[in-house]
Amino acid sequence: MEQPLPSTHSNLSDMDRRNADWYIDKLVQALVFIGGISAIVFILGIFVFITKEGLGFIWETLDIRDYFLSPRWRPTSEFNPTYGAMALFVGTACVTGMAMVVAVPFSLGAAIYIAEFATGRTREVLKILIELLAAIPSVVWGFIGLSIMNGLIIKLFNVPIGLNILNAGLILGLMAAPIMTTIAEDALKAVPDGYREAAEAMGATRWQVVWKVVLPASKNGLISAVLLGVGRGFGETMAVLMASGHAINIPHSVFDSVRALTATIAAELGETAVGSDHYRSLFTLGITLFIITFVINLTADIIVRGRRGS
């Protein structure tokens, strides 16, 4: 009476659905995966190629102590070239610091206004304006610093040169502010509306809600917005090159000209012989910049993630 179970072996080929579509699907998946990892490949490529040019110089010629502690950047000196980048670090730090003094309060204020106070059409228009501001190219900002701000600063403060920390800092602040505003606004928006409603139900005014509830809840997002602004300031090239005065100098006031790391590479790379010590020293500056901005971006990312985790 025992019926044999129907064999699964005979119709195995019917189960096989590997037709042309299946193979195309697998092929596309592979192609798309290559696209997916391209960002990793490129970021590694950037690191490899700039270290390839700069690393030999760091081992053989560069005095690391001097690099960080000496203000004498004289790579073109015939007998005794020195590669002290301290003045460049100080220059970049001063300009970025100045930019943040301008940009942080204003962009956080603007973000709070747009996210929490403005409504309807006003909010839409402000958001669009901020987005358009972020689009202005850095070389145009540099030109504005050179042609408009320069004269303005000379006249207003009665100083001999208008291309200085103040000028570059203001320009950089105006450049970084829209980006910081957008990211900060996103962070504020990420706070659940339930928090606001709960506070308002207790009779809090809009400002009390913002100050006591929304700001503490979005603290990490706001910090990372500021950090990304700092990163942007650190890496800005053309605007700083054109507006900072580009003079190697340890500044004593905001009216002194300085020189930034990025601007040094931009100004000198064109005049160096490929493979020379000067050329490789510029790649060393590039490695330094890469590492600094990488750390800043990583920190900003970790801070935001920390918020999500908790």
Partner 1 sequence: MFQATSINHHNEAVQKRVKILFGVMTSLLILPVLIILTMLIIRGGPAISWEFLFESPKNGMTAGGIFPALMGTIALVTCALIFSVPLGVASAIYLSEYASDNWMTRLINLAIINLAGVPSIVHALFGVGAFVMFFEFGTSILAASLTLAIMTLPVVIVATRESLQAVPHAFREACWNMGATRWQTIRRVVLPNSISGILTGVILEVSRTAGETAPIMFTGAAFFLPFLPQSIFDQTMALSLHLFVVSTQVPGVPEHIPYGVALLLILLVLVMNSISIAFRMYLRRLKKW
Residues 57-116 that bind partner 1 (CB under 8 A): 105-107, 109-110, 112-114
Separation between Cα atoms, residue 234 and residue 261, nearest integer Å: 8
Of 85, 177, 183, 184, the residue at the interface with partner 1 (CB under 8 A) is: 177
Q: Is residue 43 a contact point for partner 1 (CB under 8 A)? A: yes
Separation between Cα atoms, residue 194 and residue 208, nearest integer Å: 15
CA 88 to chain centroid: 19
In the chain, alpha helices (H): 12-15, 20-60, 64-69, 86-112, 120-135, 138-144, 150-157, 165-189, 193-201, 206-209, 215-217, 219-235, 238-243, 261-268, 277-309
Q: Is residue 156 a contact point for partner 1 (CB under 8 A)? A: no
Among the listed ranges 71-79, 80-88, 193-201, 296-304, the one in contact with partner 1 (CB under 8 A) is 296-304
Of 1, 12, 64, 135, the residue at the interface with partner 1 (CB under 8 A) is: 135
CA dihedral 17, 18, 21, 26 (to 10 degrees): 130
Minimum CB separation of residue 132 from partner 1 in Å reads: 6
- The smaller minimum CB distance to partner 1, of residues 4 and 212, is found at 212
Minimum CB separation of residue 3 from partner 1 in Å reads: 33
Two tokens, residue 54? 């700069």
Of 144, 183, 213, 258, the residue at the interface with partner 1 (CB under 8 A) is: 144
- The smaller minimum CB distance to partner 1, of residues 61 and 147, is found at 147
- The smaller minimum CB distance to partner 1, of residues 164 and 237, is found at 237
Separation between Cα atoms, residue 221 and residue 116, nearest integer Å: 16
- The smaller minimum CB distance to partner 1, of residues 52 and 219, is found at 52
Beta-ladder partners of 82: 74
Minimum CB separation of residue 299 from partner 1 in Å reads: 11
Q: Is residue 46 a contact point for partner 1 (CB under 8 A)? A: yes
Two tokens, residue 191? 């706070």
Of 11, 63, 208, 219, the residue at the interface with partner 1 (CB under 8 A) is: 208
179 phi, psi to nearest 5 deg: -65, -45
